[in-house]
A and B are shown apart, each in its own frame.
Chain A
Amino acid sequence: MTASAQRCWEDVQEGEELKGFSLELTMTRMVLQVSGTQDFYPIHHDQAFARTAGHEDIFINTGFIRGCLCRLLTDWMGRDGFLKSLGFQMRRPNLLGEAIAVRGRVKTKRPEGRVDLEVWIENGRDAAVTVPGSASVVLPTRS
């Protein structure tokens, strides 16, 4: 999203897909995750610790997941949009070595610039939705 690409409420269509993005969860990305979130709980960077807790491997943390969903929405809204709410459920871990796709769709247009959306993260391993969510944004109007 650039400063000039401002989306207005009138531009939005119900059912419209958001341009999403994908990320490979390489070890470097996992290190970026710790740097970016400052979440040092070892389950997100220490494979031995994760396995003793019963997990297959280390997995991305809440800060990374919500950051992905937030980026999806702020890229789409433009600079004058306002993210009003975001909720999500972390149903399955996204593990080191996997790839994720961050996606969204416009659900409902409401008065006063409000737009409700479905957002989610898919896991590249089996295209399963690992993180379903919903969001509401306020977009500028032309009137």
Chain B
Amino acid sequence: MPYDIKVVKRQWEGHETPLRWGRYPVEHEPIRRHCHMLDDANPLFIEEGRCPPVLVDFFASRGSWPPGDFDILGLVRRIPTPGDRLINLNQEFEWFQSVSVGDRLGAKHKVAAIHQRGTKLDPLSVWIRTETTIVNQREEVVAVRTNQILVHRTPEEIVTGVSRA
């Protein structure tokens, strides 16, 4: 049966996941690793334990290993697409309050939009936009994130006409 983007849109656009709490609380060591990666010596993060704003979704996730359920991956993987290779394209954050070591974060995700539009990687590329709301232990919103991901086939799959959905 050929891939029908209209059916996928009908089934998945608007789908929301329940609030799930991060697997671990906000910890200092991952903050330091993040800073070391970037040669970021900001004492606010390295010494005092403030969470860099862009790390809040990491701490709100179920943990990075095994990777199947990390952040939006589990949700994106459930949406039928011709390919299974992923590339993130855009991201937008809005923050409402700071987060520090010891806080507990959680997240819920929503499938905002799904489109099929060809790219140079794959004429059957599928674009998935998600919205993530991140809350702290008091269930106050600390950030909202929008993400656009592209799902495509490998060149070999394109040549052989393989479609997973």
Interface residues of A (CB under 8 A from B): 1-3, 21, 23, 29, 32-33, 35-41, 43, 52-54, 61-64, 66-71, 74-75, 79, 82-90
Q: What is the predominant secondary structure among interface residues of chain B facing chain A?
A: mixed
Q: Could you tell me if B95 and A70 are in contact, using CB atoms closer than 8 angstroms?
A: no
Once the chains are docked, how many angstroms separate the CA of A64 from the CA of B88?
12
Please report which residues of chain B, range 52-72, place their CB below 8 angstroms from some CB of chain A when the two chains form the complex: 52-54, 58, 64-65, 67
Once the chains are docked, how many angstroms separate the CA of A53 from the CA of B154?
5
Interface residues of B (CB under 8 A from A): 30, 33-40, 42-45, 52-54, 58, 64-65, 67, 85-95, 98, 121, 152, 154-156
Complex partner residue of A1 from B39, B42, B54, B67, CB under 8 angstroms: B42
Q: Could you tell me if B92 and A67 are in contact, using CB atoms closer than 8 angstroms?
A: no
> Quick one: closest B residue to A138, CB to CB?
B95
Q: Could you tell me if B88 and A62 are in contact, using CB atoms closer than 8 angstroms?
A: yes
Once the chains are docked, how many angstroms separate the CA of A35 from the CA of B40?
15
> Quick one: closest A residue to B155, CB to CB?
A54
Q: Could you tell me if B37 and A84 are in contact, using CB atoms closer than 8 angstroms?
A: no
